[in-house]
Amino acid sequence: MSFFHVRHENIYLVAVTKVNANAALVFEFLYKVVGLGRSYFGRFDEEAVKNNFTLIYELLDEICDAGFPQNTEAETLKLYITTEGVKSEKALKDEGSRIAIQATGAVAWRRPDIKYRKNEAFIDVIESVNLLMSAKGTVLRADVSGSIMMRAYLSGMPECKFGLNDRVLLEKEGKIGAVGGSRKAPGAVELDDCQFHQCVKLANFEQTRTINFIPVDGEFELMKTTENINLPFRVHAVANEVSKTSVEFKVAVRSQFSNKVYAQNVVIKIPVPTNTSGAKIIVTAGRAKYVGSENCLVWKIARFQGQQEYLFSAEAELTSTTVKKAWSRPPISMDFQVLMFTASGLMVRFLKIFEKSNYPSVKWVRYMTKAGSYQIRF
């Protein structure tokens, strides 16, 4: 007998099996139950379970049949498991036809009768940059966690075809040379680790390296990626302990992206000794001040243009203490957002939408790179 459990809020969800079941599948099913609870009740906790016991029992009966997981999509289940009052025969008949399509078809995440006056599709390529750099300027860790979010407001059952500047795809199309060839790949990236939403047809991706899918109605995460990185900012910092009552800081920050692009809401936090009483600060851009509650010097730059370098210099005044303890020098941390720029170089090459009524559609693509854990030792 094997037991699997996950904790959510103040409740435990436990699955029991007598066979050697796939552990990943069991945990995914338990998290799907949590998602269903949040979709139906807003918050899935002890109170929600007590107040909706009958409905939860009905949901479990639908999503698991003889120990085998079934349809766990909230939008589909809401078509025929609802807490609303009794509906008319016509409404039930219409819903029954939709349920039959949903239950037997391959598309459990979308209804076929969705209609919009204006058909639009929005794609957001969001990358989170993680960096850990040593005091000597050596990169100890650098990676990008990418996420492609999509908001689809499309009528009917459209099929979307989506392409990135994937090195393998460009080599197949003959637009760049193969590995080891004479031509290099300008702007091509290697997609090493990809995770897709269930709506993506994985067989097509393996064959053609294009992403084919019938989108979920509304907002959803289409895929996750992990790529190599081009550092958006280079930071050089020096701290000099002049005396027992004074420490000098010099920090230079240079943006390494195009000068046509701007970073927004740049915040650099420079740690100071715990016995700091104040600081004299000079900056060439933005504003900086000593924040005692955070025990650091905070430098804020609202707009940071590409290919620019800004300087920071400060003298921290220290109070004398009876306890002699060496300053540990925590790393400098940095937060930022850069619109229309990707640290990995990932780009959307095309987005095509096909639907039997052949309606016109508007497509938008936006890029954003933000700081994850961006730290520099000094």
Contact 277, 321 (CB under 8 A): no
- pTM here is 0.69
Contact 274, 319 (CB under 8 A): no
| CA atoms in the 13 A half-sphere facing the CB of 161 | 9
CA-closest candidate to residue 129, choices 142, 116, 140, 138:
142
42: left (phi over 0), alpha (psi -120 to 50) or beta: left
Rounded Cα distance, 146 and 167, in Å: 17
The kind and range of the H/E element at 89 are: helix 89-104
Give the pLDDT confidence score for residue 181 in this predicted structure. Answer: 40
Give the pLDDT confidence score for residue 167 in this predicted structure. Answer: 77
378 residues of the chain, pLDDT tens digit each = 889 999 998 899 999 998 898 999 999 999 999 988 888 888 888 888 888 888 888 888 888 888 888 888 887 787 777 664 333 344 445 555 555 544 545 577 888 889 999 999 999 999 999 999 998 889 999 989 999 999 999 999 999 998 888 877 677 666 555 444 433 445 678 776 788 998 888 877 777 788 999 999 999 999 988 877 889 999 999 999 888 889 999 999 999 999 999 999 999 999 999 899 999 999 999 999 999 999 999 999 999 999 999 999 999 999 987 677 788 899 999 999 999 999 988 889 899 999 989 999 999 999 999 999 999 999
* Dihedral in degrees, nearest 10, Cα atoms 162, 166, 168, 172: 60
